[in-house]
Structure 1
């Protein structure tokens, strides 16, 4: 479907009526009505409900509103990227990355991919499932996610290429000034932690591979919960409790002496940093970025 047709339909949905939609599209009402009639003939679908006055979007059009808005957004983004490439001579590459990876390794990713080839990198930070969805739906060329080393990798998808490009560890940390108190409480039978929701990757990882080994030794007291490792790190630094975070994320605070690493006492979780892309792709920028990512990180 032509982009101007989709824009016409979105304008109709935005305004709720033909006259206002015509004004949004900066054309006369008769001209807009003719365009909609042509589109109805082409699609064989009633797009305007003419049984009411003033006429407005038909039920079938309203039912597909979210799909149309998504298509309009995707097409606008595509056109913008193509214009940017033509104007600047710069190729755009979308990399979907888990939040924790973006925070701890974002600069390294950009340096590894963008600088050598003058490729414009759009780093989309998302949770693990969203990263995989962005890749499968071709909204991202490459996905970067964590995988627990102790867990089976699962069945490989034949349409995806995969490479392990690094290692990471989820480590328990706490504020240095509060470490003695927190560890004393732990020895007495209570471990105060900053938790993650059970339905996110980090939450499942910490529950299965850290807390399950500690429940026989102590009671787990979740002082606060967050879905972001950066927030968990900040809460741990404030002295509230222990948080399991990627070691690369905690490294600056560890080096400054603000955090204490508690792996010997509470255990760490080894992870692989996994890159994925479509196995068959003609996109030169993707292939070049893949080569650099798999050798530079």
Structure 2
């Protein structure tokens, strides 16, 4: 019986043929169940026995029954049949997921709020599209895109930054807007009234996107009477939001990320006293021949 364990479509048919005879007790009944003529079914049974090298059925007995050696393997045949059927289903499902899979790389702060809300509007379930999100910083998102490890990247850009990170390869479309705003613990309003000469703040590493925005767009715009004082450095905007909420320092974070705590009063928006920066939410992809799932996602992003 070992030869029948080869995982192919033909072998699955053979296993099902054997079980059909065992369950019906006749070649004619098994042929009907297998939707074959009796002569065609008999030829296939003979082919199976020739391949295995032994007779599998006791044809002298009425109804026909399995030979003792075959009967001893019946449970294993049932198990293999079930496993091969499931394998066929899983392989087809895997192929469908692969062909309909879209990998989206997005910046950490976008992964938490804007991108899930955006995906909720896309008809991915209706079209059988499988979306995988990969969270990374700006440069990593572009790298994933160029190395074809991601199909689409969704990132922040400043409103005056119109440069293309790879103009010959990437197309982009602006799909939304946000603002980098200063927030702080709402129970300490004196900071909002500019009563401190030092501004304790949460800083970002200089090699990440928001760290560069802070250096170019925020800190140079502070009132010269105020001295910015970094208290903690983090690359995670969600951590910056939480530290601002407990009063560690002012955090400049995307407004979309702070909305919930602003609404509950846990955070205070200090935009009236401290500088802000407008942001664009941009979708990018490599030019070329996209699969249908990527094309569908892209068309919906363009009209988002």
- Please state if 1:108 is matched with 2:117: yes
Map 1:252-263 onto structure 2 (within 5 A): 252-263=260-271
Partner SS, residue 250 of structure 1? helix
Structure 1 residues 88 and 134: alpha-carbon distance in aligned structure 2, compared to 1, 3 A threshold:
closer
Q: Which residue of 282, 285, 294 maps to 2:293?
A: 285
Equivalent residue pairs, number: 214
Structure 1 residues 231 and 146: alpha-carbon distance in aligned structure 2, compared to 1, 3 A threshold:
same
Matched-pair contact (CA < 8 Å) for 1:237–1:258: yes
CA distance in 1, matches of 2:151, 2:210: 24
Structure 1 residues 260 and 293: alpha-carbon distance in aligned structure 2, compared to 1, 3 A threshold:
same
Gaps of 5+ in 1: 1-80
Q: Which residue of 1 aligns with 2:142?
A: 132
Structure 1 residues 188 and 259: alpha-carbon distance in aligned structure 2, compared to 1, 3 A threshold:
closer
Structure 1 residues 137 and 269: alpha-carbon distance in aligned structure 2, compared to 1, 3 A threshold:
same
Residues 146-169 of structure 1, C-alpha deviation per residue, up to 9 Å, x if partnerless?
111133424761322210111111
- Please state if 1:247 is matched with 2:255: yes
CA distance in 1, matches of 2:118, 2:289: 21
TM-score (norm 1): 0.67
- Please state if 1:167 is matched with 2:174: no
Q: Which residue of 199, 207, 211 maps to 1:199?
A: 207
Map 1:14-163 onto structure 2 (within 5 A): 84-86=93-95, 91-113=100-122, 114-154=124-164, 157-163=167-173
CA distance in 2, matches of 1:87, 1:152: 37
Partner SS, residue 267 of structure 1? coil
Gaps of 5+ in 2: 1-89
Q: Which residue of 1 aligns with 2:242?
A: 234
Structure 1 residues 82 and 172: alpha-carbon distance in aligned structure 2, compared to 1, 3 A threshold:
farther
CA distance in 2, matches of 1:226, 1:236: 12
More helix by share: 1
Partner SS, residue 263 of structure 1? coil
CA distance in 1, matches of 2:157, 2:230: 24
- Please state if 1:221 is matched with 2:229: yes
Q: Which has the larger radius of gyration?
A: 2
Matched-pair contact (CA < 8 Å) for 1:84–1:90: no
TM-score (norm 2): 0.66
Matched-pair contact (CA < 8 Å) for 1:172–1:263: yes
Structure 1 residues 82 and 126: alpha-carbon distance in aligned structure 2, compared to 1, 3 A threshold:
farther
Residues 13-57 of structure 1, C-alpha deviation per residue, up to 9 Å, x if partnerless?
xxxxxxxxxxxxxxxxxxxxxxxxxxxxxxxxxxxxxxxxxxxxx
CA distance in 1, matches of 2:166, 2:145: 15
CA distance in 2, matches of 1:83, 1:211: 55
CA distance in 2, matches of 1:174, 1:243: 7
| CA-based RMSD | 2.1
Cα distance, 1:277 vs structure 2:
0.8
CA distance in 2, matches of 1:277, 1:154: 11
CA distance in 1, matches of 2:266, 2:292: 44
